[in-house]
Structure 1
Amino acid sequence: MAYVHHSHDVHVPAHEARVEDYLALLKPRVMSLVVFTAFVGLLVAPGGINPFVGAVAVLCIAIGAGASGALNMWYDADIDAIMSRTANRPIPAGRIERDHALALGLVLSAFSVCLLGLATNWLAASLLAFTIFFYAVIYTMWLKRSTPQNIVIGGAAGAFPPMIGWAAVTGTISIDSVVLFLIIFLWTPPHFWALALYKQSDYGAAGIPMLPNVAGEQATKVQILVYSLLLVASTLVPSVTGFMGPIYSTVAVVTGAYFVWLAWVLFRTTETVAMKKAGRSLFTYSLSYLAVIFLALLTDHAAELLGWL
């Protein structure tokens, strides 16, 4: 099946733009997870950071994530108009003009990177700049419409925030921060492919080569199971290296076992309605799973600082 680029002739009068529409451009739900993982990376990093500087760093990462969202919606306005999941976003719904989204994204990108560099260090700022570039250009403009591996490679953009938080404190990249990156990187494919399984028609209509549309449902279910196993294995690394203690280890084992179980149920399901239901179950669980893993990292670290471990 050939996939073609759509034209970007979406131009609608922004006659109803409200504050909440501009906030929607920043993808606040995605931003909340980005901010939380960055916050955890910042807090578990060795050495500590001035609370005010730390707050500024997290704010910069949040603004950078919002800038990425705005740039993504600017470029994807054509396909957003086709997909039921995204048709009511501010640009395709006609509440904000595409050029306004582009301007907002560029201004917020420059502001967040410069402020982070001045407040912490330029390694953290460089990582933030690269993350915005990776999501807006490498993923949105190139990978998303050209390869079924879009989510695998593009997932790197969402995996950088804890590394940025870590770098803001330490000015370095370490094995532990790379493991935090790896957890999110490996979480992304099963999370989005589970969504793609029950939203196949949307992606097909928009011409996005998501794995189920290109390789088929069975191949997608195999990949989901493989990545789920790799994901759970990566969450156990902090326990093995001694970076985290028994609280984190227990949570990682229990929540990981259920993640793999849901992936296995999906893999074994062949009937279409049941498969879509299983895909939705895994997608829904995966949303809370990542938050719980990072909350466990934070809890274990706090317990160690307080001398409870």
Structure 2
Amino acid sequence: MTALSERSAAASRRESTRSSTGRTAVVRRRVLAFVGLTKPRIIELLLVTTVPAMMLADRGWPSLSLLLFTLLGGTLAAGAANVFNCYFDRDIDKLMQRTQKRPLVTGEVTPRAALIFGIVLTVTSIALLLATTTVLAAALAAGAIFYYAVLYTMVFKRHTRRSTEWGGVPGAAPVLIGWAAVTGSLDWPAVVVFGIVFAWQMPHFWALALRFKDDYARADVPMLPVVTSELSVGRQSVAWAYVTVAVSLLLWPVATDYGIGLGYTVPAVLLGAWFVLESHRLLGRIKRGGDIKSMSLFHVSISYLSLLMVAIIVDAIV
């Protein structure tokens, strides 16, 4: 082979490598765009509430296969709901700085592709839960998808200041799905844990909405911080923080037969005091004026719920 031929072959190999690398990068971006539609960070938080509900229902560790299939089905169901949310909200997402980089806004995914993706995830999640868990768990997942994608996204979010309260129902649904996956029914401990997660969402989300209230105002979305004063939002956040803690303390009397006792209740009191204190701090900053630092409550709320769920798990198995 001549030197010229060798150089030509080397150049061809380099071009082939660059072409292959480019195709891989395109596929990777495409996959990440579809994954982004499912809002993985929100799903993580939802799954945090599924596991303790399952362990409480089973009075210990459920079978590994049931746990994995329930989590997988729940992940796909939550992902489907979030995909539909992105699909229906694409008109207002482009108006808000917080959501302007979502795949449907940037054009990385077409509306048609997103809709098909959401339908595929819905069918797959319900079929998986139906085949591996219980009819009730699958039905609850289907109901949660419809509620969040249609009722919350298309109706409540755009037409009422109380959208967060209405949206709290599908947000707490993983608790019921996890319980139903184990038992095929529902019981009072499941209702109480559902109530904890439901009430918790108000101070949690309003803290975020305070941070991005200008975005919601720009998109004409009547979130509570847009349509009322910061002082009112702060007071309501404090009230819901107290409700969250009060409901959390109900778990001991209704779940003693499921292993809940002081091992849960003591952490619940301490964590609840921290959560309530942080909500009061937000209200205090609002009253004083200046930077209210609402995201501080947002981050504390995530830690609060995560640690409370850990307390349920520990007390249920120990």
Match of 1:283 in 2: 298
Asked whether the equivalents of residues 31 and 66 of structure 1 are also in contact (C-alpha less than 8 Å), the reply is yes
RMSD of equivalent CA atoms = 1.7
Cα–Cα, structure 1 residues 222 and 292, in superposed 2: closer, same or farther, change >3 Å? same
1:261 and 2:277 matched: yes
Q: Verify: 1:292 aligned to 2:307, yes or no.
A: yes
In the other structure, the counterpart of 1:193 is: 206
Matched to 2:119, the amino acid is L
**What is the TM-score when the length of structure 1 is the normalising length?**
0.89
Gaps of 5+ in 2: 1-25
Partner residue, 1:250 = 266
Q: Secondary structure at the match of 2:282?
A: helix
One-letter amino acid of the structure 2 residue matched with residue 291 of structure 1: S
Residue type at the aligned position of 2:33: D
Tell me, in whole angstroms, the C-alpha distance in 1 between the residues paired with 2:72 and 2:132. 11
How many residue pairs align between the two structures?
288
What displacement does 1:39 show?
1.9
Q: Distance in 1 between matches of 2:39 and 2:86?
A: 9
Match of 1:134 among 135, 139, 147: 147
1:272 shift after superposition? 4.0
Q: In the aligned structure 1, how far is the partner of 2:175 from the partner of 2:132?
A: 17
Report Cα offsets for 1:58-110 as digits up to 9, x if no partner.
Answer: 11011101111111111111111111111111111221111111111111111
Q: Distance in 1 between matches of 2:231 and 2:41?
A: 30
Q: What is the match of residue 252 of structure 2?
A: 239
- Aligned partners of 1:180 and 1:213: how far apart in 2? 30
Which region of structure 1 is more displaced relative to structure 2, 33-42 or 95-104?
33-42
Alpha-carbon contact 1:15-1:95 (below 8 Å) kept: no
Cα distance change, pair 271–92 in 1 and its aligned pair in 2 (3 A): farther
What's 1:5 paired with?
A: none
Query: For residues 220 and 289 of structure 2, what CA distance do their matches in structure 1 show?
Result: 22
Distance (whole Å) between structure 1 residues aligned to residue 83 and residue 89 of structure 2 = 10
User: Which of residues 167, 185, 195 is equivalent to 2:180?
Assistant: 167
2:87 maps to which residue?
74
Letter of the structure 1 residue corresponding to residue 58 of structure 2:
P
* Comparing 286-295 and 264-273, the one that deviates more: 264-273
Q: Aligned partners of 1:254, 1:135: CA distance in 2, in Å?
A: 32
Tell me by how many angstroms 1:298 deviates: 0.6
Which position in structure 2 is the counterpart of 1:41? 53
- SS of the residue corresponding to residue 106 of structure 2 reads coil
Return the alpha-carbon distance in structure 2 between the equivalents of residues 79 and 296 of structure 1: 39
C-alpha distance 273-99 of structure 1, shift in aligned 2 (>3 A)? farther
Q: CA deviation at 1:258?
A: 1.0
Could you tell me which runs of 5 or more consecutive residues in structure 1 were left unpaired when the two chains were aligned. 1-13, 304-309
- % of aligned pairs identical? 38
C-alpha displacement of 1:50 = 3.2
Q: Per-residue deviation at 1:125?
A: 0.6
Q: Pick which of 226-235 and 237-246 moved more.
A: 237-246
Does residue 274 (structure 1) correspond to residue 291 (structure 2)? The answer is yes
Distance, in Å, in 2 between the alignment partners of 1:102 and 1:16 is 20
Q: CA deviation at 1:53?
A: 2.7
Distance 1:264 1:280 in 2: 14
Work out the CA distance in 2 between the residues paired with 1:61 and 1:195.
Answer: 24
Normalised by the length of structure 2, the TM-score is 0.87
Greater displacement, 151-160 / 52-61: 52-61
- C-alpha displacement of 1:271: 4.1
Counterpart of 1:46 in structure 2: which amino acid? D
Structure richer in helix, relative to its length? 2
How far apart are the structure 2 equivalents of 1:225 and 1:273? 19
